[in-house]
Amino acid sequence: MRQSLFLISKYVVVFLFLFCIKPLKAQETIVTYIKKNGGLTALKDSADYTRILSITPNDIGLYELNEYYSNGNLKRHGWVKSLDARKLQFEGIVEAYYDNEIVEATLNYSQNKLVDTAKRYYRNGVLKENRVYLKDKVTPDSITDNELFSRLVYYSDSLNNIQIINGNGTARFVDKDNDIEQGDYANGVRTGHWKGTILKGKYRFEEQYEEGIIVTGETTDSLGQKIKYTKKQVQPEYPGGIQQLRMFIGKNYRYPKEALMAGVVGQVTISFVVEKTGKTTDYKIIDDLGYGTGNVGIEVIEAASDWTPGYLRGIPVRVAYTLPIRLNLTR
């Protein structure tokens, strides 16, 4: 009798175990290995992080994105509108993390543009800022002045000393080079007199704002020379614009013989630096199709005309630039 009870209880346990098991469904994904400069690599060991896209959309047609640091910690999670791992089109909430698993930012996207409230945090977990992006403004691909398209509602330093509350207060920003910007906020934008340093303390600046827009600005160098400006940042520009550069590349790019024989098509991406003089230097191949296609990309960019340099508060500066070159055999 005791043996029968044991057998019955054994079968019950087995039945319950089998009953609790749910069938596992394989999740198909696109795995991409990313380098620090944004380029792709075929080898996981040479990547700085891994990007994983689920190819199964959710109920509203979005694809889940997860990115991981090389230590396995989550780097970013969100939803995108397409399966293009090179050019992510965000939609909805995106969460970013430091490599120590502390939340870095919580962002909201609509049509790949920042909307609503963005929250950003310091590495120690302290809330750094709340910034509201304006619905009636279209955020450009390259923001030269974030405050034209948003309002700073809250700001504190890493020790949780609150400087801006409800869009008002006096802020003191310190960047990674220990350069400082300080001045007043009113209704979420800069106002009145601002001052600080740039380029590792080499220059001092003073600015006057009205409703978030610079009215006047003046930078002073170590010799006391003054440079006036009305824009904080000016991006480098190719003569005639970027379209003119693309036309130059289209006319002058010469397919390597090996690439022609292999029928290679796709995208080569080259990064370079526009120097203070407007000349381009420091060429690097970010994405390559092999067969010498990346090297020819460098050669044709090097042969192009000099640029108008970029400026930071009236001072010419070196600016990094990344240029994709689309290659096909039908042109």
pLDDT at position 124: 97
Dump the DSSP string for 276-302.
TTS-EEEEEEEE--STTHHHHHHHHHH
pLDDT at position 146: 66
pLDDT at position 165: 98
pLDDT at position 136: 59
CATH of 242-327, picked from 3.30.70, 3.30.2420, 3.90.25, 3.30.1370, is: 3.30.2420
Q: Cα–Cα distance between 116 and 246 in angstroms, integer?
A: 35
pLDDT at position 147: 74
Report the predicted TM-score, pTM, of the whole model to 2 decimal places. Answer: 0.80
pLDDT at position 149: 87
In sequence order, the β-bridge partners of residue 184 are 170, 191
pLDDT at position 137: 54
**Nearest of 60, 54, 58, 17 to residue 32 by alpha carbon:** 54
- Domains of the chain by residue range: 27-114, 146-233, 242-327
**Dihedral, CA of residue 148, residue 149, residue 151 and residue 154, to nearest 10:** -110
The residue with tokens 């910690």 is 73
| DSSP three-state, residue 12 | helix
How would you write the pLDDT of the chain (331 residues) with one tens digit per residue?
A: 444 433 433 434 333 333 344 444 446 999 999 988 787 888 888 889 999 999 999 999 999 999 999 999 999 999 999 998 888 999 999 999 999 999 999 999 999 999 999 999 999 999 999 999 987 555 443 334 667 789 999 999 999 999 999 999 999 999 999 999 999 999 999 999 999 999 999 999 999 999 999 999 999 998 999 999 999 999 999 999 999 999 999 999 999 999 998 998 999 999 999 999 999 999 999 989 999 999 999 999 999 999 999 999 999 999 999 999 999 876 5
In sequence order, the β-bridge partners of residue 220 are 204, 226
pLDDT at position 18: 36
For helices 242-252 and 293-303, give the axis angle rounded to 10 degrees. 120
